[in-house]
Amino acid sequence: MMQWRVLNTGIENAAVNMAIDEAILLEYAAGHVPPTLRFYGWQPAAVSLGYFQRGTEEIDLAACREQGISVVRRLTGGRAVLHDAELTYSLVVGEHEAGIPATITASYCYFSQGLIAGLARLGVAAQMNMPRSSYGQGERRPPHTSAACFDAPAHYEITAAGRKLVGSAQVRKQGVILQHGSLLLRFEPRTLASILQAPTPEKREALAGMLAARAIGLEELLNRKIGFPEIFASMLQGFDEVLDGGLVQGRLTAAEQGTAKDLAATKYSQDSWNFRR
């Protein structure tokens, strides 16, 4: 049975959050830490750009500044995510560890089972978004129509009530998988639309309406407030089921903390990284 270290690093700013994920990846690649499952939150709110996104073309940076929303670039691909009222998870594990599926899509499917199991403990009937070949005749997966991650689910991402609930992205470096994703506690489509580039106010209003129809938060599903501690406990139990009970509470090592501090200062808080494209 593979043993996973579990980290709850709490609420941090955008640069620190992305720096910690990379620091764990680097320390794992060096053989210094075990496979790691991390949970965290964001303050202040932030937009994370996918690695290949052109931020200045797709994000309204002036609107972000006006609203106090930070901007950071992820190591992983995909589209922009507004991180605010959410629980974020990240997984760091070797591509060739026993039990880890070899392909990106298969590993997405595997890790998504942990998310679904955790959501089930909250009474949420969530599903994986299946590849097109698994759709019924005449069914089509909604296409991306904006720069936002939550305007359509990718394969094996999580939906509930027909709307996207969890958005995830993955990168593989030095034989190591880093996957992280956002589980929405509340979804604010107007706020997200307000920081995306739109040619007219009418187009932005239409974008907000489209996002509202395609994504959903836990509080809307459950019809009640839910906090970080409750969802953390549920997701931890869900992953414990899927990862065969090999979870052990841990903490960041001194080396990880030092590397994260350096990366936050020299990379993830710098325009040279965040707006490199």
Structural domains in the chain, CATH included, are 4-130+145-267 (3.30.930.10)
pLDDT of residue 135: 33
> Residue 225 above 70 pLDDT?
yes
How sure is the predictor about 146, in pLDDT bands with cuts at 50, 70 and 90? low
Kindly state the average pLDDT of the residues 203-229: 94
Indicate if the pLDDT at residue 139 is higher than 70. no
pLDDT at residue 198 greater than cutoff 70: yes
Intra-chain end-to-end CA distance of the chain, in Å:
42
pLDDT of residue 107: 92
pLDDT digits (tens, 9 = 90+) for 238-265: 999 998 768 999 999 999 999 999 999 9
pLDDT at 134: 37
Q: Give pLDDT, residue 79.
A: 85
Find the mean pLDDT for residues 26-54. 96
* pTM over 0.75, yes/no: yes
Higher pLDDT, 138 or 93: 93
The mean pLDDT of 175-197, rounded to a whole number, is: 95
- Residue 187 is predicted with a pLDDT of 94
Q: What is the pLDDT of residue 147?
A: 52
- Catalytic residue annotation: 149
